Amino acid sequence: EAQVTQNPRYLITVTGKKLTVTCSQNMNHEYMSWYRQDPGLGLRQIYYSMNVEVTDKGDVPEGYKVSRKEKRNFPLILESPSPNQTSLYFCASSFRGQTYGYTFGSGTRLTVV
Amino acid sequence: AQSVTQPDIHITVSEGASLELRCNYSYGATPYLFWYVQSPGQGLQLLLKYFSGDTLVQGIKGFEAEFKRSQSSFNLRKPSVHWSDAAEYFCAVGGANTGNQFYFGTGTSLTVIP
């Protein structure tokens, strides 16, 4: 089944403790992207990647890192999480980016205390 | 700057009634427009998209949307709503002028009453 898989689905962590949210897609998509969803703000793009080793900042990149060493994987790294990064995170992938629309993962609900 | 506005935060309709969700965009050229639906606890699912051509596009689950350039709108419609349509709906815009960024509206929550 074609899908985008994120792990974990739920995560509670403490301020400053590094964490990684994994994202993997099995559709051989070139484009991958991370979003955060907050009430009243909709979805905001954190980072995106157009291909292996090619990444760029979205609208809200501060406090996040990404890497794209393989086409299928696009992990999101929080080096020193803070409470304002408590949010619902979505990974998405697309064959050629915005033209084709994105396929979304099921989300990761992160709480930083 | 590119942006998407969904004026209605929350809409309630009766099952069987028609539905229209509004979306207005700001974009300097021909936009790529999308509607996504998010069911509770789920990711986003693409309902339909517009790139060019016929301004009335058909999507999944009986939804359609009409692109009106003069009004900068891309409203989503459904003639008869089912209880299973209760969800959050997001409009999004992209295009050649946005690079690879993709802008979402803040969403409209739909409640369907029996």
Handedness of CA A46, A32, B38, A10 (dihedral sign): negative
pLDDT above 90 coverage of chain B, percent:
73
pLDDT recorded at residue A98: 62
CB–CB of B46 and A103 under 8 A? yes
Q: Which residue of B has its CA nearest to A4?
A: B43
pLDDT recorded at residue B99: 60
pLDDT recorded at residue B52: 83
pLDDT recorded at residue B102: 76
pLDDT beneath 70, residues of chain A: 97-99
d(CA A37, CA A46): 10
pLDDT recorded at residue B42: 83
Per-residue pLDDT of chain B (114 residues; tens, 9 = 90+): 678 999 999 999 999 999 999 999 988 777 889 999 999 888 899 999 998 888 999 999 999 999 999 999 999 999 999 999 999 999 998 866 556 677 899 999 999 999
Q: Are strands B108-113 and B10-14 parallel, antiparallel or unpaired?
A: parallel
d(CA A29, CA A31): 6
Of B17, B44, A29, the residue nearest B35 (C-alpha): B44
d(CA A106, CA A112): 20
Structural Rg of chain A based on CA atoms:
13
* B41 secondary structure, DSSP code: T
CB–CB of B44 and A104 under 8 A? yes
pLDDT recorded at residue B80: 97
d(CA A81, CA B97): 33
pLDDT recorded at residue B98: 58
Structure tokens at B100: 């690879």
Cβ atoms of residues B65 and B48 within 8 Å:
yes
Q: How many CB atoms within 10 Å of residue A80?
A: 12
Residues forming beta bridges with residue A44, ordered by sequence position: A36
Distances (CA, A) of B106 to A90, B55, B102: 15, 23, 13
Q: How many CB atoms within 10 Å of residue A60?
A: 18
CB–CB of B101 and A59 under 8 A? yes
Identify from A43, A89, A108 which residue to disrupt to test chain B contact, counting B C-beta atoms within 10 A and taking the largest count: A43
pLDDT, one tens digit per residue, over B4-16 is 999 999 999 999 9
